[in-house]
Amino acid sequence: MKIYKDYSEIKFDKNTVISIGTFDGLHLGHANLLNEVVKRASDNNSRSFVVTFEPHPRVVVSESGKVKLLTCMDVKIPLFEKMGIDNLYVINFTKEFSRLGFDAFVEEYLVKRIGVKHIVLGHDHKFGKDRAGDESKMRLLGEKFDFEITTIPAITKEDKIISSTLIRNLLESGETGEAKKFLGRYYEIPGEVVDGVKRGRLLGFPTANIKPKSDNLLIPANGVYVVKCDVEERTLYGVMNIGLRPTFGDVNSVQLEVHIFDFHEDIYGKDITLNFLKRLRPEKKFESKEELIYQINKDKKDALRFLGSIIN
């Protein structure tokens, strides 16, 4: 897959099938839409193109800039490639760009810079300044600039419309297993191993403290989770605590700490990707260090039992 961040590097070709969006989560609904892009491109000997934005538009236009996202670009890129997309154009989304009207965006970026034969849209797609562009207006532009439009209807699973909002709500409730049904994969957070207070080591359960790659990534509900950890092309497993360490009361912001099973290497400064397999329990304050150690042992046993049921 070719990735473009500068439009001047893109070779104009009218014979192009395009989809546009932020694709937060790249869930099963997005996959269904992108499958249509790939199929139409293959059937018509066209190239497939996804146009997306970085940073996420809501990060730029929201007053606080605090937006909970399901995926950062580091996660999206390999997923786009896995889905068979030929080309990815990542537009730098700025305040100035946010003021661009939908018609100007289509003409300047799609029609003149990339070239477009067919655009595939999601059922609820809105774009351009004030999200004024929609399917009906895009069809009028298609008549003007000679391209076709296909709109993909919403897809449902278990009588629920698959959406980023649905998945976000499930993760904020700690329902990582339910979220997987609609994502089509385990929820993942890419991060870096950073220095911590090393209290886990004193308890007999050394932990790695994780700093997510983006401050805007959604952190699942506080609690203890079974996780798969990808470190330097190795797959490891462990239990992760997300929360405020209430037993010790020594932090005022959410911490991500993972105890990796049977692992004793120094990985400070290394990249790590956490996949949330199962939530074991909510976070809890314990009355003593001994009570906490007992619970950690139980969490570890529960995690290993679960892993034994899904591995092999």
For residue 178, give Cα distances in angstroms to 173, 279, 303.
10, 11, 18
The whole-model pTM stands at 0.92
What's the CA gap between 286 and 302, in Å, rounded?
A: 19
- pLDDT bin (cut points 50, 70, 90) of residue 204 is low
116, 237: one domain: no
In a domain, 172, yes or no: no
151, 16: one domain: yes
Looking at residue 53, its pLDDT comes to 96
**DSSP-derived 3-state class of residue 306:** helix
217, 148: one domain: no
134, 193: one domain: no
251, 104: one domain: no
Looking at residue 132, its pLDDT comes to 67
Let me know the angle formed at the C-alpha of 233 by 231 and 220, rounded to the nearest 5 degrees. 45
Residue 141 is part of a domain; what is its CATH number? Answer: 3.40.50.620
What's the CA gap between 53 and 75, in Å, rounded?
A: 14
11, 149: one domain: yes
Average confidence (pLDDT) over 14-28: 96
Domain boundary among 101, 125, 160: 160
9, 154: one domain: yes
The rounded mean pLDDT for the chain is 92
- The pLDDT tens digits of the residues spanning 150-162 come to 999 999 999 999 9
In a domain, 176, yes or no: no
- Whether 129 shows a pLDDT value over 70: the answer reads no
- The pLDDT tens digits of the residues spanning 51-75 come to 999 999 989 988 776 789 999 999 9
Q: What stretches of 87-212 show up as alpha helix (H) in DSSP?
A: 95-98, 102-105, 135-145, 164-172, 176-183, 199-202
- The pLDDT tens digits of the residues spanning 282-308 come to 998 888 888 988 999 999 999 999 999
In a domain, 178, yes or no: no
Tell me how many domains the chain contains. 2
For residue 204, give Cα distances in angstroms to 49, 93, 292, 296.
51, 46, 11, 10
**DSSP-derived 3-state class of residue 177:** helix
Beta strands 271-281; 223-231: pairing state:
antiparallel
Boundaries of domain holding 218? 186-310
153, 220: one domain: no
Looking at residue 2, its pLDDT comes to 97
Residue 257 is part of a domain; what is its CATH number? Answer: 2.40.30.30
- The pLDDT tens digits of the residues spanning 161-198 come to 999 999 999 999 999 999 999 999 999 999 999 987 56
130, 200: one domain: no
146, 39: one domain: yes
In a domain, 236, yes or no: yes
121, 29: one domain: yes
**DSSP-derived 3-state class of residue 229:** strand
- What token pair was written down for 202? 């004193």
Domain boundary among 160, 176, 194: 160
In a domain, 10, yes or no: yes
- Whether 278 shows a pLDDT value over 60: the answer reads yes
In a domain, 181, yes or no: no
Per-residue DSSP letters for 233-287? Answer: TEEEEEEEEEE--TTTT--SS-EEEEEETT-----TT-EEEEEEEEEEE-----S
In a domain, 296, yes or no: yes
- pLDDT bin (cut points 50, 70, 90) of residue 211 is very high
Looking at residue 125, its pLDDT comes to 77
In a domain, 173, yes or no: no
- Whether 229 shows a pLDDT value over 70: the answer reads yes
Domain boundary among 126, 160, 194: 160
139, 195: one domain: no
Which of 133-142, 202-211, 256-265 has the weakest average pLDDT? 202-211
Whether the Cβ atoms of residue 73 and residue 92 lie closer than 8 Å to each other: no
